[in-house]
């Protein structure tokens, strides 16, 4: 025969339905509150990646101009959210790169002129000496101007070097 103390302990094993329901409820609240933060972080990371991609393409255009000793043109379309590199010495179709939503090419400011392109095509020409026509390309997440959701890529007209701000 088993002692009575053993029978009392067997009823205390496990969790009640109420305890399990409360734990599931709190987990759902935590997941619901953290999802917007995770999604905005993913958008910021995508914006940073896209800004680096544009800057890398600008650096490629500059190095191609220096190497080939012929001007190379970086072009962008603000309406279609696309950019590409055209080599003036080759009759190749350019490889057009499109940025995915919610990332936008917001604006372009031409160096030395106060022309603010908001909805048109723009070009930056890189010359064989390494210099360029210069400018500033603005990128953001769906027209958000928060400091974490906005990047500006400047192209120095004298050196042709790009810098992400």
Q: What is the pLDDT of residues 85-144, one digit of tens each?
A: 998 776 778 888 888 888 888 888 887 776 666 668 899 999 999 999 999 999 988 756
Dist CA 149 CA 41 (whole Å):
10
Helix (H) or strand (E) holding 112: none
User: Which tens digit of pLDDT belongs to each residue from 36-84?
Assistant: 777 777 888 888 999 999 999 999 999 999 999 999 999 999 999 899 9
pLDDT at 61: 94
- Domain residue extents for the chain: 46-164
Report the half-sphere exposure of 127 (CA within 13 A, side-chain side). 9
| pLDDT, position 32 | 84
The H-or-E segment that residue 61 falls in is helix 17-68
Given pLDDT bands bounded at 50, 70 and 90, which one contains residue 31?
confident
User: What local confidence, expressed as pLDDT, does residue 143 receive?
Assistant: 58
Measured CA to CA, the distance from residue 121 to residue 79 in angstroms comes to 8
Task: Name the residue with higher pLDDT: 29 or 142.
Answer: 29
Would you mind telling me the total number of residues written for the chain in this entry?
165
Q: How does DSSP classify residue 148?
A: G
DSSP 84: E
Best CA proximity match to 153, nearest among 137, 140, 133: 137
Q: What is the architecture of the domain spanning 46-164?
A: 3-Layer(bab) Sandwich (3.55)
Q: How far apart are CA 98 and CA 57, in angstroms?
A: 13
pLDDT at 145 (0 to 100) = 59
- Taking only the tens place, the pLDDT of each residue in 2-27 is 555 555 555 567 888 888 999 999 99
Task: Output the pLDDT for position 53.
Answer: 94
């Amino acid at each position: 025969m088993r002692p009575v103390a053993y029978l009392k302990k067997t009823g205390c094993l496990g969790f009640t339905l109420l305890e399990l329901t409360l734990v599931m409820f709190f987990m759902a609240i935590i997941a619901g509150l953290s999802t917007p933060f995770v999604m905005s972080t993913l958008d910021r990371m995508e914006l940073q990646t896209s800004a680096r991609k544009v800057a890398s393409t600008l650096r490629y255009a500059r190095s191609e101009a220096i190497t080939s000793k012929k001007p190379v043109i970086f072009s962008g379309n603000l309406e279609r959210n696309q950019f590409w590199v055209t080599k003036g010495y080759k009759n190749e179709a350019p490889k057009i790169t499109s940025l995915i939503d919610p990332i936008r090419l917001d604006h372009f400011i031409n160096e030395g002129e106060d022309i603010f392109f908001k909805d048109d095509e723009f070009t930056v020409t890189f010359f064989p000496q390494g210099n360029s026509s210069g400018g500033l390309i603005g990128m953001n997440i769906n027209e958000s101007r928060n400091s974490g959701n906005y990047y500006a890529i400047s192209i120095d007209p004298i050196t042709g070097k790009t810098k992400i701000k």
